[in-house]
A and B are shown apart, each in its own frame.
Chain A
Amino acid sequence: KAGVTQTPRYLIKTRGQQVTLSCSPISGHRSVSWYQQTPGQGLQFLFEYFSETQRNKGNFPGRFSGRQFSNSRSEMNVSTLELGDSALYLCASSLLGSNEQFFGPGTRLTVL
Chain B
Amino acid sequence: GQNIDQPTEMTATEGAIVQINCTYQTSGFNGLFWYQQHAGEAPTFLSYNVLDGLEEKGRFSSFLSRSKGYSYLLLKELQMKDSASYLCAVIGTGGFKTIFGAGTRLFVKA
| Bound pair (A, B) | yes
- Within 8 Å by CB of A105, from B41, B91, B99, lies B41
Residues of A within 8 A of B96 (CB): 31, 33, 48, 55-56, 94, 99
B102–A41 contact, CB under 8 A?
Answer: yes
Residues of A within 8 A of B45 (CB): 100-102
- Within 8 Å by CB of B100, from A31, A45, A94, A104, lies A45
Scan A61-105; emit 1 where CB is below 8 A from any B CB, else 0: 000000000000000000000000000001000100001111111
Nearest neighbor of A90 in chain B, beta-carbon distance: B42
Residues of A within 8 A of B87 (CB): 42-43
A57 nearest CB across to chain B (Å) = 9
B95–A35 contact, CB under 8 A?
Answer: no
Q: Indicate whether B30 reaches chain A with its CB closer than 8 angstroms.
A: yes
Whether A42 touches B102, Cβ cut-off 8 Å, given contacts A55-B96, A99-B96, is yes
B43–A103 contact, CB under 8 A?
Answer: yes
Interface size for B (C-beta < 8 A) is 23
A43 nearest CB across to chain B (Å) = 4
B97–A104 contact, CB under 8 A?
Answer: no
Considering only residues 85-102 of chain B, those with a C-beta below 8 Å from chain A are: 87, 89, 91, 94-102
Residues of A within 8 A of B94 (CB): 56
Residues of A within 8 A of B97 (CB): 45, 48, 56, 58
Residues of B within 8 A of A56 (CB): 94-97
A33–B98 contact, CB under 8 A?
Answer: yes
Residue among A40, A102, A103, A106 having the largest count of chain B Cβ atoms under 10 Å: A103
Q: Indicate whether B107 reaches chain A with its CB closer than 8 angstroms.
A: no
Nearest neighbor of A106 in chain B, beta-carbon distance: B42
Residues of A within 8 A of B95 (CB): 48, 55-56
B101–A42 contact, CB under 8 A?
Answer: yes
Tell me, in angstroms, the Cα distance from A105 to B38 when the chains sit together: 11
Residues of A within 8 A of B100 (CB): 35, 42-45
Scan B11-37; emit 1 where CB is below 8 A from any A CB, else 0: 000000000000000000011010100
5 examples of A-B residue contacts, CB within 8 angstroms? A43-B89, A48-B95, A99-B30, A99-B91, A101-B98
